[in-house]
């Protein structure tokens, strides 16, 4: 009952640490680069920090070298690897927008390549969660809940996506560790339009929701040219712009046979949103008290 969680200080990694600790695991934490020497014989290794190069440029070879190092360490020590990937590798759309995103943004190619490396490595499991929400990153600039409650999103994409509680992803990671065979496990939660999701969060938080929703293709084009402009100025664009390709790639998802077999069923969306808003309020109150 030992586990090494890579990316333990992240949104998903932190939830996995808490879940494993609550169920009797002795958990050790590692960052996304310093992990190879920490893998112990026969333990569970959860990689929740696979590089996610959101942007137009990525050091792909360094990313693949990191994954080879992880896989080699797991195989040498006879450990079990659970790799947390992304729903985007499940999307097999011939729609022009999806093909264009995969041609322009290295994120999609990198995720698909890392998954293939993991699945070829024997007794390893790949989790493919949909977009994650939850109470564990209340003030992160990458948090959709945070951006809505701080009213930093004047508009959102008009698209129906699937969202899952990060705590349910953590439960799935714990259950997946008991699997004896390699494989991919899609993880779905609830299908919801992004604008409706923002309105529900805003209503719980007592703030005004984003004023309108924009067409996904127009939003993607605007994000691309905005990111290009930021790059020409030598600046990093805001997280909301960098995340646009992922939101635009979102699709409705059903609970898969693999998820059912695992026994990892999503909690109600209302519970996730209430907890996320409550966590944001608490963190904001604590920040004000310390300032």
98 belongs to a structural domain: yes
Domains identified in the chain, total number = 1
290 belongs to a structural domain: no
165 belongs to a structural domain: yes
pLDDT at residue 290 is higher than 70: no
190 belongs to a structural domain: yes
Domain housing 242: 2-283
102 belongs to a structural domain: yes
pLDDT at 255: 96
Percent of the chain past pLDDT 70, that is, above it, reads 96
Cβ(66)–Cβ(113) below 8 Å = no
- The dihedrals phi and psi of 228, each to the nearest 5 degrees, come to -60, -40
291 belongs to a structural domain: no
Q: Is 148 helix (H, G, I), strand (E, B) or coil?
A: helix
Here the CATH number for the domain that contains residue 173 is 3.40.50.720
Cβ(161)–Cβ(130) below 8 Å = yes
Give the H or E element holding residue 208.
none
What tens digit of pLDDT does each residue of 198-223 get? 999 999 999 999 999 999 889 989 99
**CA 32-36-40 angle, 5° bins:** 120
Beta carbons within 8 Å of 289's beta carbon, 6+ residues apart: none
**DSSP-assigned beta bridge partners for residue 125:** 82, 183
When the pLDDT of each residue in the chain is averaged and rounded to a whole number, the result is 90
What tens digit of pLDDT does each residue of 44-61 get? 999 998 777 778 888 899
Q: Which two tokens stand for residue 148?
A: 């809505």
Its pTM stands at 0.93
Cβ(42)–Cβ(92) below 8 Å = no
Cα(166)–Cα(171) distance, integer angstroms:
9
Cα(48)–Cα(196) distance, integer angstroms:
29
What tens digit of pLDDT does each residue of 247-264 get? 999 999 999 999 999 999
């Amino acid at each position: 009952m030992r586990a090494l969680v890579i990316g333990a200080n992240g949104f998903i990694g932190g939830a996995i640490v808490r879940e494993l600790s609550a169920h009797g695991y002795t958990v050790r934490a590692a960052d996304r680069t310093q992990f190879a020497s920490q893998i112990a014989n026969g333990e569970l290794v959860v990689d929740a920090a696979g590089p996610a190069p959101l942007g137009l440029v990525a050091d792909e070879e360094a990313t693949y070298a990191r994954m080879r190092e992880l896989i080699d360490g797991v195989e040498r020590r006879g450990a079990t690897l659970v790799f947390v990937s992304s729903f985007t590798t499940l999307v097999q759309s011939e729609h022009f927008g999806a093909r264009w995103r995969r041609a322009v943004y290295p994120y999609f190619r990198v995720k698909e390549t890392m998954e293939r490396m993991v699945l070829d490595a024997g007794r390893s499991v790949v989790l493919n969660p949909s977009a994650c929400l939850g109470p564990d990153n209340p003030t992160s600039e990458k948090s959709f809940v945070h951006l809505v409650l701080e009213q930093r999103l004047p508009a959102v994409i008009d698209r129906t996506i699937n969202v899952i509680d990060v705590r349910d992803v953590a439960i799935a990671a714990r259950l997946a560790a008991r699997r004896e065979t390699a494989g991919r496990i899609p993880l779905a939660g609830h299908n919801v339009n992004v604008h409706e999701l923002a309105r529900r969060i805003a209503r719980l938080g007592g703030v005004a929701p984003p004023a309108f929703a924009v067409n996904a293709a127009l939003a993607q084009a605007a994000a691309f040219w905005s990111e290009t402009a930021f790059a020409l100025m030598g600046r990093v664009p805001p997280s909301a712009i960098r995340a646009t390709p992922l939101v635009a790639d979102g699709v409705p998802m059903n609970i898969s046979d693999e998820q059912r077999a695992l026994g990892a069923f999503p909690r109600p969306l209302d519970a996730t949103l209430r907890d996320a808003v409550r966590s944001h309020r608490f963190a904001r109150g604590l920040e004000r008290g310390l300032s």
